[in-house]
Amino acid sequence: MRSPMIWKRRSTQSGTTKEERRANAAAWMRGEYGPAGYTYGVSKLVTGLMVLGGVLYLLTPWALVVCLGVAFIAMVGRLLIERQAGADFSDLHEAKRQFERTGRHDYLDFIQARGNQMLSDNKALRPTSKAEINELLQWADRYDRKASTHPENPKRSKRSKKRGASAQQK
């Protein structure tokens, strides 16, 4: 059965209002469109390289090949970095889930080590990704401090004794 509203003209296929379309257009102009991901996109760089290659094609066809090659390398590089960041975030969230399930403090150490390494090594992370890592680091630090200040925490005391013994052996 057809909808009784079929006679009304829709503003677009998705039914968005004029204000939503304007906001979407403004976000598109700022470059805030498409799937966000964990890292910055390279679409502006690739577009610029294509335009530059088209202009330089008038001088020599090899310039176009070089520009397109660099654009391809940028896209593949971003893909690899995005996959690595996705795997790292998956590992961090899994470690959080496992700590909540088991209470083993090795997961907190992993979150702190991997989170700090991601912040120092990966300069292409978006601010939202960095904020998410900082939230995980604060969460891990809060639980780590709670565990280390509790006097009757056998897991924490055993772990610190093992660390002290292994440090003396080295």
User: What φ, ψ does residue 15 adopt, rounded to 5°?
Assistant: 80, 25
Pairwise CA distance, residues 96 & 74, whole Å: 33
Question: What is the pLDDT, as a whole number, of residue 20?
Answer: 84
pLDDT for 27: 74
3-state secondary structure the chain: CCCHHHHCCCCCCCCCCHHHHHHHHHHHHHCCCCCCCCECCCHHHHHHHHHHHHHHCCCCHHHHHHHHHHHHHHHHHHHHHHHHHHHHHHHHHHHHHHHHHHCCCHHHHHHHHHHHHHHHHCCCECHHHHHHHHHHHHHHHHHHHHHHHCCCCHHHHHHHHHHHHHHHHC
The candidate with the shortest Cα–Cα distance to 31, out of 48, 14, 15, 19, is 48
Running along the chain, 170 residues long, what does each successive block of 10 average in pLDDT?
A: 44 68 77 72 90 92 93 94 93 94 91 94 90 94 73 49 48
Amino acid present at 58: L
To the question of pTM greater than 0.75 for the whole model, the response is no
Q: How far is CA 19 from CA 8, 15, 124, 155, in A?
A: 19, 12, 32, 57
pLDDT score, position 32: 62
Q: Which two tokens stand for residue 54?
A: 């088209």
